Structure 1
Amino acid sequence: MIVALILLLLVLGSVIFHLVSPWWWTPIASNWAYIDSTLVVTFWITGIVFAAVVLFLAYCVYRFRHQPGRKADYEPENKRLEVWLTVATSIGVAAMLAPGLIVWKQFVTVPSEATEVEVVGQQWSWSYRLPGADGKLGASGVNWISADNPLGVSPHDSNGADDVIVEGGDLHLPIGKPVKVVLRSVDVLHDFYVPEFRAKMDMVPGTVTYFWFTPIRTGEFEVLCAELCGTGHAFMRSYVQVQEQAEYDAWLGEQVTFASLQRPRPVRVAAEP
């Protein structure tokens, strides 16, 4: 009786926690409301199954509890029950997977008008590269990384000369325009994650990954690393500033380009005493 009561309290406590819990999503700031809808569908399916299983377990504990003179029946197979459970489980799994597959297809199908922005992760900072006046990013690779070329932009690709380099700073984006986020890591696994955008993706060394989104709300949004990447993982932070187009253009005009980073620097020679 005590065990059955504990199981009932577990279900009741879970429902109450869901209703009063402050741990909920941050206000969305991108077009990916589909992500929230998919999570809600998954939550209700798993929540109902959880409550049904625990309540059924509580019923069984109480209904078939030990009583003097009662003898347990041995029934190793029940084909009708097995078929019912198989069908119900298949429907439940399909109901959870279908919305996710639909959203995933949208998540990786980038609009033709999207602007490419590169994010480079390394222990333990974020750097960004945005297209310049030509609207195109130049090629990049780890082979070209150096002190004067921290993001590994190809010096042989003319499209990269006007690329805007933001090393260890914040990413600025204009509101209302789709962005393709191209992700690279130069050392270990990282994961670019902005909770308000409902978008994240692993960054795998030697592989270029991507996703896209459209910012729909101006403001400052924190960038987190969602993949344990070493002792400084918790401090790998940055910000995305979503701005009106005029503010964004003004900021973009103040940034350094790849070509300016490659200009020869004057060498100071100490005067003879």
Structure 2
Amino acid sequence: MVVAAVLVLVVLGSIGFHLFSPWWWTPIASNWGYIDTTLVITFWITGFVFAAVVLFMAWCVWRYRHRPGRRADWTPENRRLELWLTGATALGVAAMLAPGLWVWASFVTVPEEADEVEVVAQQWFWSYRYPGEDGRLGRADATWISADNPLGVSPHDRFGADDVIVDGGDMHLPLDRPVKVLLRSIDVLHNFYVPEFRAKMDMVPGSVTYFWLTPTREGEFEVLCAELCGTGHGFMRGYVLVETETQFNAWLGEQLTFAQTQQDAPVRFAGPTGGTP
């Protein structure tokens, strides 16, 4: 009887902790409220299953407790029960997967009017690249990386000359404008994560991953690396500043372009896999 009571208390305590816990999501600052909704649906489904299973166990402990003269009835198979359990499990899993698949499709389907910004990760800080006046990012490759060109922008791509380089600074985004975030790592696996945006994505060396979002609230939001990337992983932090379009354009105009950073730098030619000289 004590075991049955403990099982019931586990269910009641879990529900109470969920409802009254002071630890909850940070206030959202992007258009991805769908992700919160998907998490809530998952909590409801898994919470119901958890409560039902544990309470069923408590009922079994109480109902079939040992009594003098009672013998166990062994029933190795129950086809009807197996079909019900299989169907209910499949329905529950489908109910959890369907919203996630729909949100994921939206997460990687970028609006045509979205701006672009590139995030470059390396141990253990973040850098950023914005399109210049031509509105296009130039080609970049690890072959071009050097002390004078830390992001590996091709010096022979005319679209890269006016790219705005923010090496090791903060990321700035305009309010209420969709932006496609291109993610690139130049050493090991990283993960770009801003909790308030509900947006995160792995950054795989040799690949370019992406997602998009629309910032909906002005403010300063912390960037975290959500993938273990070495001894300095815990210190790989930065900030995203969401501001009005006027403030963003003023800040962008104060930054150096790639051409300006290369004025006194020697031209370095790439190997067979690099850009065209």
TM (normalized to structure 1)? 0.96
Structure 1 partner of 2:112: 112
Displacement of 1:37? 0.7
Structure 1 partner of 2:179: 179
2:99 alignment partner, SS class: helix
Displacement of 1:116? 1.1
Map 1:34-49; keep pairs closer than 5 Å: 34-49=34-49
| 1:215-266 Cα distance to aligned partner (Å, 9 max, x none) | 0111100000111111111110000000101111110011011101111269
Structure 1 partner of 2:146: 146
Structure 1 partner of 2:22: 22
Q: 1:265 to 1:88 in 2, by over 3 A?
A: closer
1:234 alignment partner, SS class: helix
Separation in 2, partners of 1:265, 1:58: 73
Structure 2 partner of 1:271: none
Asked if 1:191 is matched to 2:191, the reply is yes
Structure 2 partner of 1:101: 101
Displacement of 1:36? 0.7
Separation in 2, partners of 1:43, 1:33: 15
Separation in 2, partners of 1:113, 1:209: 19
Map 1:1-273; keep pairs closer than 5 Å: 1-264=1-264
The one-letter code of the counterpart of 1:174 is: P
| 1:189-220 Cα distance to aligned partner (Å, 9 max, x none) | 11000000011000111111000000011110
Separation in 2, partners of 1:253, 1:50: 55
1:41 alignment partner, SS class: helix
Q: 1:190 to 1:265 in 2, by over 3 A?
A: closer
Separation in 1, partners of 2:234, 2:245: 32
The one-letter code of the counterpart of 2:156 is: H
Separation in 1, partners of 2:173, 2:186: 23
1:8 alignment partner, SS class: helix
Instruction: Please list every run of 5 or more consecutive structure 1 residues that lacks an aligned counterpart in the other structure.
Output: 267-273
Separation in 2, partners of 1:6, 1:175: 51
1:126 alignment partner, SS class: strand
Separation in 1, partners of 2:249, 2:116: 16
Displacement of 1:165? 0.6
The one-letter code of the counterpart of 2:263 is: R
Separation in 2, partners of 1:200, 1:169: 19
Separation in 1, partners of 2:199, 2:205: 20
Instruction: Please list every run of 5 or more consecutive structure 2 residues that lacks an aligned counterpart in the other structure.
Output: 267-277
Separation in 2, partners of 1:155, 1:59: 72
Moved beyond 4 Å, runs of 4+: none
The one-letter code of the counterpart of 2:30 is: S
| RMSD (CA atoms) | 1.1
Separation in 1, partners of 2:189, 2:96: 28
Separation in 1, partners of 2:171, 2:30: 15
Deviates more, 1:61-70 or 1:163-172: 61-70
Separation in 2, partners of 1:122, 1:146: 13
Displacement of 1:38? 0.6
The one-letter code of the counterpart of 2:243 is: Q
User: Identity percentage over the alignment?
Assistant: 74
